[in-house]
């Protein structure tokens, strides 16, 4: 595809964000080349419709385009965030991704009560969860892999969900702002959750630089991060973003408790353990607020969004299950869940 480069009245500035990675196929390769050299992305007609919506190529292409709305990439003009050719490609990729999600979840609950009821009771046998595996028999190398994977979200924790605040009103808006205030350290820079996760990475001998492990992250992980960006960047999906956020907050305390145990058992370090103990306490409070005030307030103001809230929850669980299966399978077969293994600590 070709098109004229857009003109702009703004001064040209380039990002100091992470370094661009290599593409993993025609679509992501086209995005990388467009960002490196300017001009529109050059990809084959029909490539998006033929792409695997869960595959490495589509998920990386979408991640790269979304990242322009966060910190960008080193050497890439900040104005590329609103490049019409890139946005046109992003829209097509999003449609492919969203269609796959809705197809897979066609039988998912459409009510908030149905969607969240299973999450409010600790399962009698949580053995299938990654946090249970890490808490009971995880090894230090597995904790390091898990942290490297999750760093693509946790180093920008709560950022995607902040986009929903201008789209809420009244009780829902006030409650969401209060939760986000906690996520960003309640006025204390050293308590910002993203910074706490950087401390965890230091304890584990990992590089805490933003986006450092993008090249090693497989498609199932990229999809979990892309989901929150997809919901966050579209006002029409505000209900789904609230459902996504609520799902994270509801499931966080028990999972964080097990991960804190895993960090302690493997002697990962005090900062690594603290990140999860902090989430046990904070998210237990957030869970109540998000269910009763954010969701409750939104349903009072816009009751027609209930199916979207339920969809956001179901989509979150669906992609987490896909990621869990990917990691379990790799570890059971005795190899890394990353695209390339981490170097020795």
Residue 124 has a pLDDT of 44
Q: Which helix or strand (DSSP H or E) is residue 36 part of?
A: helix 26-37
pTM, full prediction: 0.94
Residue 67 CA to its chain's centroid (Å):
11
Ranges of each domain in the chain = 26-104, 112-332
Q: What pLDDT shows up at residue 11?
A: 53
Residues facing 14 on adjacent strands? 77
332 burial via Cβ count (<10 Å: 0-12, 13-18, 19+) = exposed
pLDDT at 33: 98
Query: For each successive 10 residues of the chain (345 residues), what is the average pLDDT?
Result: 48 76 98 96 96 98 98 96 98 98 96 92 66 95 98 97 98 96 94 97 98 98 98 98 95 93 97 94 81 96 98 97 97 96 89
Query: What confidence score (pLDDT) does residue 266 get?
Result: 96
Strand partners, 77: 14
CA separation (Å) from 181 to 166, 188, 189, 335, 342?
Answer: 15, 10, 11, 40, 34
Residue 182 burial by CB count (10 A; 0-12/13-18/19+): exposed, middle or buried? middle
Architecture per CATH, domain 112-332, reads as Up-down Bundle (1.20)
Structure confidence at residue 288 (pLDDT): 85
Burial of 45 (0-12, 13-18, 19+ CB in 10 A): exposed
- Asked if 298 and 165 count as a contact pair (C-beta separation under 8 A), the reply is no
Neighbouring CB atoms inside 10 A of 102's CB total 12
Alpha helices in 184-294 (DSSP H): 193-203, 219-232, 238-265, 270-289
Distance CA 273, CA 250 (A): 20
Note the pLDDT of residue 5: 47
CA distance 274 to 200: 8
């Amino acid at each position: 595809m070709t098109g004229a480069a857009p003109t702009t009245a703004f001064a040209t500035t380039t990002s100091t964000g992470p370094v661009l990675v290599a593409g993993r196929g025609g679509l992501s390769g086209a995005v990388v080349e467009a960002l490196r050299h300017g001009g529109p992305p050059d990809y084959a007609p029909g490539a998006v419709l033929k792409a695997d919506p869960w595959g490495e190529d589509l998920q990386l292409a979408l991640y790269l385009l979304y990242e322009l709305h966060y910190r960008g990439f080193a050497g890439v003009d900040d104005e590329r965030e609103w490049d019409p050719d890139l946005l046109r490609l992003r829209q097509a990729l999003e449609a492919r991704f969203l269609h796959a999600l809705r197809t897979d979840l066609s039988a998912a609950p459409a009510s908030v009560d149905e969607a969240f009821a299973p999450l409010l009771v600790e399962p009698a046998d949580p053995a299938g969860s990654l946090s249970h595996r890490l808490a009971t028999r995880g090894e230090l190398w597995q904790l390091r892999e898990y942290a490297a994977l999750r760093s693509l979200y946790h180093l920008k924790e709560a950022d995607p969900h902040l986009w929903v605040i201008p789209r809420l009103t009244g009780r829902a808006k006030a409650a969401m702002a209060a939760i986000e205030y906690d996520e960003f350290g309640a006025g204390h820079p050293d308590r910002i959750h993203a910074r706490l996760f950087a401390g965890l990475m230091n304890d584990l001998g990992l590089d805490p630089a933003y986006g450092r492990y993008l090249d090693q992250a497989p498609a199932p992980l990229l999809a979990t991060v892309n989901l929150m960006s997809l919901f966050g960047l579209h006002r029409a999906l505000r209900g789904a973003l609230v459902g996504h956020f609520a799902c994270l907050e509801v499931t966080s305390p028990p999972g964080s408790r097990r991960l804190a145990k895993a960090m302690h058992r493997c002697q990962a370090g005090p900062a690594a353990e603290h990140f999860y103990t902090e989430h046990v306490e904070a998210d237990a409070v957030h869970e109540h607020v998000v269910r009763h005030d954010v969701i409750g307030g939104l349903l009072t103001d816009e009751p027609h969004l209930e199916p979207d809230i339920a969809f956001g929850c179901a989509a979150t669980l669906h992609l987490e299950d896909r990621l869990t299966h990917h990691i379990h399978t790799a570890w059971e077969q005795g190899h890394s869940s990353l695209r390339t293994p981490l170097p020795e600590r």
